[in-house]
Structure 1
Amino acid sequence: MKRILYAIAALMMTAPGAFAMGPWKDGCIDQTPCEIGDRSYHVRIPDDWDGETPMPVLLHFHGWQRQGTLIVQHQRISGATRRRGVLLVAPNGLGRSWDFWRAGTPDVAFARAVLEDVRATYPVLDDQIFVSGYSWGSNMAWRFVCEDGADIAALLAISGTLPQNEDCSTAPGEVRQVYGLGDQVLDFPYGPGGDTEFPVYLWRQKYGCGAGIAEGAWNARDFLTFQRTTWDCPDGDVSLDIHPGGHFIPHGWIARQLDQMLGLPPSYP
């Protein structure tokens, strides 16, 4: 028994500084929520983090009837962040949903409070704050950057948007959207005349974009092919990935976006 106690003590004295700081000192990590007022969020620390180096952050809004407990263990989300040195932050929606329907929703203020709480706890890179979401969480991610996105480096939106006539007071540095043409949950938002570039019309107008550039096909996995269109605009960049599938988080999509934005070689997962 004494040997075990000595080993534990030695480990505590030699562990990285991360284990002596941060919310997880009270058990607030992974499946255990971090309390903020009467609400909560979850965090997943990247693999091999030394406890000191500032990290990029991915704030991801869960889909309908989900919670952050799923996000921090989701292979297509946390599997991407934890291998790339990115701190994953997953807020919990009230009633397992989000209020994104109207301007001024309290969920925007809640998400900002979560980000500020994370900033106060962890060393983060303020110029590499990314916001993501899937399904209704994607709608919420749009709402957040539409109203409070001036300091957000990029929006990574999956299978969800806002109405393209929404009047956004702010915008992120860039927008990356993916959508399935076969989506039967949140139908693909075709524009007039069947325009398949319409899902990012709002941001193209906001950024003063001209004509898009067809970048062609790419794959993260052999069984799903994306067709990418990009816009290099005066006030921000936009990319739209379209695939023939339905309503899901595509394998490798978040990972590929992070690789590109962080200047890493593309890899999977």
Structure 2
Amino acid sequence: MSRLLIAMLSFVLFPISAAAACGGRDDPCALPNGNYHMAVPEVTQPRGIVMHLHGGGGRGRGLLNSDLAREALARGYVFVAPDGDQPTRRFKRDWSVRGKNLDYDRQDFGFLPDVMADVRARTGLDGGTVLLAGFSRGGSFVWDMACQMPDFADAYAPLAGTFWDDLPTGCAAPVRLFHSHGWNDRTVPLEGRSFGGGAVVQGDVWASLKILRETNGCDARQPERNSFEDDLWFRHWSDCAAGDIRLMLHKGGHGAPQGWATRVMDWFEGKGLDAEG
């Protein structure tokens, strides 16, 4: 079955509900400080919310057809894809990632909570668990949210993006975080890279993990175990005082390995990764 047909069937089975009134590809939900797209599963009571942040220059509407959207909807979660909006920056559709020499039109630490509140108001969903995921620049902002607003979500899943320099000296509270990265990523290398003669610097994944280990109270620097599956390598820090840190590396570049969405959702729901990874 083609990916296009699978995507079409997903929206037949899980349409945008009448209660939502907006959120489709061509009719985003509008807030005073930005827009977002949304898909609602056809269930009596959604289990929670999965929010996914696009990469720099991307659009939220493109994520409605993503593997993570299909996984979330199939498991009964509302899927939300906000639009980055920084009109005076190089990437006009970007996120306010923390870093030196970076100025923004909109601070997304305020925008994402506004989106979440509006989603809950439109869907009537008061509770449920929340996952915040993001790719590239979106993944970097997931790290920022996990560090500075840890209560925003129950778990965080950044992909191919981490802190930018200057790195934070510490984070507000422990979190559950599953970071995925390509071994051959040249756009956001594991060690980061600099722009403009060092004026702006991508952060280092290893340094970012160290900051979070300290926040989560991981007594040992090394993970309590490593594991492998085909072309994937895992490091598990699940014996910390609080929270849970997982690192998944794959042989590819700046993107997601096959099955990323399924693994992330299994980990989010507390199943699968320990048995399979």
Confirm whether residue 86 of structure 1 aligns to residue 86 of structure 2.
no
Q: CA deviation at 1:264?
A: 5.8
Following TM superposition, the consecutive aligned residue runs of length 4 or more in structure 1 with deviations greater than 4 angstroms are 102-105, 195-199, 263-266
Confirm whether residue 118 of structure 1 aligns to residue 113 of structure 2.
no
Q: CA deviation at 1:217?
A: 1.1
Matches within 5 A, 1:117-156: 117-124=118-125, 126=127, 128-156=129-157
Q: Which amino acid aligns with 1:21?
A: A
Aligned to 2:186: 184
SS at match of 2:248: strand
Per the alignment, do residues 54 and 200 of structure 1 end up closer, same or farther by CA in structure 2, a change over 3 Å counting? same
Which of the residues 55, 62, 66 maps onto 2:58?
A: 66
Aligned to 1:167: 169
Larger radius of gyration: 1
Structure 2 gap segments, 5+ residues each:
1-15, 86-91, 193-203
Confirm whether residue 37 of structure 1 aligns to residue 32 of structure 2.
yes
Q: CA deviation at 1:212?
A: 0.5
Aligned to 1:28: 23
SS at match of 1:254: helix
Per the alignment, do residues 264 and 213 of structure 1 end up closer, same or farther by CA in structure 2, a change over 3 Å counting? closer
Per the alignment, do residues 263 and 187 of structure 1 end up closer, same or farther by CA in structure 2, a change over 3 Å counting? closer
Confirm whether residue 255 of structure 1 aligns to residue 252 of structure 2.
no
State the alpha-carbon separation in 2 of the partners of residues 83 and 40 from structure 1.
Answer: 24
SS at match of 1:150: helix
Q: Which amino acid aligns with 1:226?
A: L
Q: Which amino acid aligns with 1:240?
A: L
State the alpha-carbon separation in 2 of the partners of residues 145 and 55 from structure 1.
Answer: 21
Aligned to 2:10: none
State the alpha-carbon separation in 1 of the partners of residues 78 and 188 from structure 2.
Answer: 28
Bigger Cα displacement from structure 2, 133-142 vs 120-129: 120-129
State the alpha-carbon separation in 1 of the partners of residues 94 and 38 from structure 2.
Answer: 18
Asked if the contact 1:57/1:125 (under 8 Å) is kept, the reply is no
Matches within 5 A, 1:227-242: 227-231=233-237, 232-242=239-249
Bigger Cα displacement from structure 2, 61-70 vs 103-112: 103-112
Q: CA deviation at 1:114?
A: 0.5
SS at match of 1:96: coil
Q: Percent identical across equivalent pairs?
A: 25
Output the TM-score relative to the length of structure 2.
0.75
Asked if the contact 2:140/2:164 (under 8 Å) is kept, the reply is no
Q: CA deviation at 1:107?
A: 1.1
State the alpha-carbon separation in 1 of the partners of residues 151 and 248 from structure 2.
Answer: 24
Which of the residues 195, 198, 207 maps onto 2:216?
A: 207
Q: CA deviation at 1:20?
A: 4.7
Q: CA deviation at 1:204?
A: 0.7
Q: CA deviation at 1:198?
A: 4.3
State the alpha-carbon separation in 2 of the partners of residues 63 and 19 from structure 1.
Answer: 27
Give the RMSD, CA atoms, in angstroms.
2.7
Aligned to 2:250: 243
State the alpha-carbon separation in 1 of the partners of residues 185 and 17 from structure 2.
Answer: 43
Q: CA deviation at 1:260?
A: 3.0
Aligned to 1:77: 68
Structure 1 gap segments, 5+ residues each:
1-17, 220-224
Per the alignment, do residues 172 and 89 of structure 1 end up closer, same or farther by CA in structure 2, a change over 3 Å counting? farther
Bigger Cα displacement from structure 2, 228-237 vs 118-127: 118-127
Aligned to 1:15: none
Per the alignment, do residues 253 and 72 of structure 1 end up closer, same or farther by CA in structure 2, a change over 3 Å counting? same
Output the TM-score relative to the length of structure 1.
0.77
State the alpha-carbon separation in 2 of the partners of residues 244 and 265 from structure 1.
Answer: 21
SS at match of 1:233: coil
Q: Which amino acid aligns with 1:78?
A: A
Asked if the contact 1:42/1:90 (under 8 Å) is kept, the reply is yes
Q: CA deviation at 1:150?
A: 1.7
Number of aligned residue pairs: 234
